[in-house]
Structure 1
Amino acid sequence: MSYLYTFKDQKGLREVIKPGDVTKYIGLGILTLEAGESYKTKTYDKEVVLVILSGKANLKVDDVKYENLGERKDVFSGRATAVYIPRESFYEVIEAQGDKLEIAVLSAVAEKKFKPFVVKPEDVVVNHRGVPGYQRDVHDIIVDNGEGRVDRIVVGETFSYPGEWSSYPSHKHDAYNPPEETMMEEIYFFKVNPPEGFGVQVMYNDDLSLRDAYIIKDKDAVAIPEGYHPVASAPGFAVYYLWVMAGPHGRKLTPKDDQKLVKAMKK
């Protein structure tokens, strides 16, 4: 089966990947609103993180109002603003501001209910990872700072350099084998700069029963329920991907590198 979800233009909320389809715990939706439009819903049994991709908005979570959220014109122009919304909560995007508002709606099936909170751009932790050939900048939005504040969900952004690989050396997190590896599903949502470019998503496992590669265009998404999953950027084009993870054994990410690959690289 294909784990690639190609972009489809749709106003309002487009549910790209629903928990229970390919993934058990996590989902992705994209909310697009024009100036002055609003959107209201309930989280039910899921905790939700709204990551503002572009534009500004006022939001309300139950009786708590958050105003003037969002500081970037696109994902390549700054750090993210995000809002955590617990399970069994109503939330409303009261009014989109500016020309267009685009929000990623990331969800994870949750058992515990916590309090809502905002992650501001200055709260995002930036890590530079890799060496020439596989350099990238990783922005932790709700990772370590989520301990004791969220149930399962883990959220961040990766900015791959043009012509380089990321999520590399290849790693996976599809088996529960502590302390070497944890089990977490993952979803990637992509942007490409300039948008005419492309990237490549590679997915494989140890016995190569999974052995796929997808051409990634702007606003595509990929579900990663298993396997190693490196990403390549075409020369001249930066590839961004928003990631959400969750699993049944806590929030501590313990990935396992492809040991055959790592050993061969050292020769």
Structure 2
Amino acid sequence: MSWHRPLGTVARGENAVELTPDVAGWDHAGLRVLLLHPGGVTTFETGDCEAFVLPLSGGCVVEVDGERFVLRGRDSVFTRVSDFAYVPRDATVRLSTKDGVEVALPMARCDRRLDPGYGPAEDVPVEVRGAGNATRQVTNFGVPGVWDHADKLIACELITPDGNWSSYPPHKHDRTCDVANEEIYYFRIAGRDKITPSREGFGFHRTYTDDGDVDEDVLVRDGDVFLIPRGYHGPCVAAPGYPMYYLNVLAGPNPERSMAFCDDPAHTWIRDTWASQDLDPRCPVTTAEGRVG
């Protein structure tokens, strides 16, 4: 069984991704990607899941529980860090847009119902991780210690400059580590202009387990999804000429939200080499103000 979901295989109408935990075939993490045309309005129920409302391109207005959040958004995931909203379980959410929007809804089944919230782009930490050709940008908008107003949901964004590697060394979030998390990778690949997502470009992703029950090396294109129920994941490799973005969604049964992980012991030594290497000057790629450089 493959855990790769190419573009279109988990779509519903014009919505590119419709992956509730039930559709994914597991218990905790989910993702929807919705498209609203200019002047568009949609309403949805969160059910037993909390979610972030994260613009991928364009901006929108989020209305929930009597609150109204105006999300500026961005032109592309490769142009700037976006603001976002948090919406609770058991809520009716209304999205509207003047100029059109593509929006991601990373979600997680949860127990507690919290109040809605707004995350300004200016408050989102941008981290440069790794070194050499493993340098990448991590945009920590929805992780523990940065956004603590969530019950189970964890989410972050990564940008890998073309030709670089990320999610490396390979690591896992299994019960053999401190916590267990299901994880979703949602990929966007930029075209030749390094800004506009395009199916022209491509990258690679690997996920595997020690026992070989999961062992996948897949080519990923813009809009693809990869589900990680268990096992080591990484690397993700951006082909030369085509920068890679992915949205990570994590959730599990853990009492506290955590991104704790275990490296594959065969490759953890790679981390020790970074101290002697320079950072790739292309990172960071974006901030709340826009593209860097």
The alignment's C-alpha RMSD in Å is 1.8
Shift of 1:62: 2.1
Shift of 1:11: 4.9
Report what 2:281 is aligned to. none
**1:5–1:16 CA contact under 8 A, matched in 2:** no
Report what 1:219 is aligned to. 223
AA aligned to 2:40 is E
Q: 1:224/1:57 Cα in 2 relative to 1: closer, same or farther (>3 Å)?
A: same
Shift of 1:90: 1.0
Q: Deviations over 1:198-217 (max 9, x none)?
A: 01110111233321111100
Q: 1:96/1:205 Cα in 2 relative to 1: closer, same or farther (>3 Å)?
A: same
Report what 2:247 is aligned to. 242
Report what 2:31 is aligned to. 28
Aligned-partner Cα distance in 2 for 1:266–1:60: 47
The answer to whether residue 272 in structure 2 is matched with residue 229 in structure 1 is no
Report what 1:116 is aligned to. 116
Q: Deviations over 1:167-199 (max 9, x none)?
A: 10111112254xxx3211110111101121101
Count of matched residue pairs: 260
Aligned-partner Cα distance in 1 for 2:31–2:259: 20
The answer to whether residue 170 in structure 2 is matched with residue 164 in structure 1 is no
Among 242, 249, 253, which residue is 2:259 paired with?
A: 253
Where do 1:133-152 residues align within 5 Å? 133-143=133-143, 144-147=145-148, 149-152=149-152
Aligned-partner Cα distance in 2 for 1:12–1:87: 24
**2:56–2:77 CA contact under 8 A, matched in 1:** yes
TM-score, normalised with respect to structure 2? 0.84
Q: Deviations over 1:127-159 (max 9, x none)?
A: 100111211000001112332x21000011000
More strand by share: 1
Where do 1:188-203 residues align within 5 Å? 188-194=185-191, 195=198, 196-203=200-207
Shift of 1:42: 1.3
The answer to whether residue 239 in structure 2 is matched with residue 206 in structure 1 is no
Among 72, 75, 85, which residue is 2:74 paired with?
A: 72
Aligned-partner Cα distance in 1 for 2:270–2:84: 40
Aligned-partner Cα distance in 1 for 2:147–2:240: 35
Q: 1:16/1:5 Cα in 2 relative to 1: closer, same or farther (>3 Å)?
A: farther
Aligned-partner Cα distance in 1 for 2:185–2:209: 18
AA aligned to 2:74 is R
Aligned-partner Cα distance in 2 for 1:43–1:265: 40
Shift of 1:97: 2.0
The answer to whether residue 97 in structure 2 is matched with residue 96 in structure 1 is yes
The SS at the match of 1:103 is strand
AA aligned to 1:97 is K
% identical aligned pairs: 31
Aligned-partner Cα distance in 2 for 1:158–1:266: 22
Which ranges in structure 1 are unaligned for 5 or more consecutive residues? none
Aligned-partner Cα distance in 1 for 2:78–2:175: 33
The answer to whether residue 61 in structure 2 is matched with residue 58 in structure 1 is yes
The SS at the match of 2:94 is strand
The SS at the match of 1:24 is coil
Aligned-partner Cα distance in 1 for 2:73–2:113: 28
Aligned-partner Cα distance in 1 for 2:184–2:203: 16
The answer to whether residue 125 in structure 2 is matched with residue 125 in structure 1 is yes
TM-score, normalised with respect to structure 1? 0.92
Shift of 1:222: 0.8
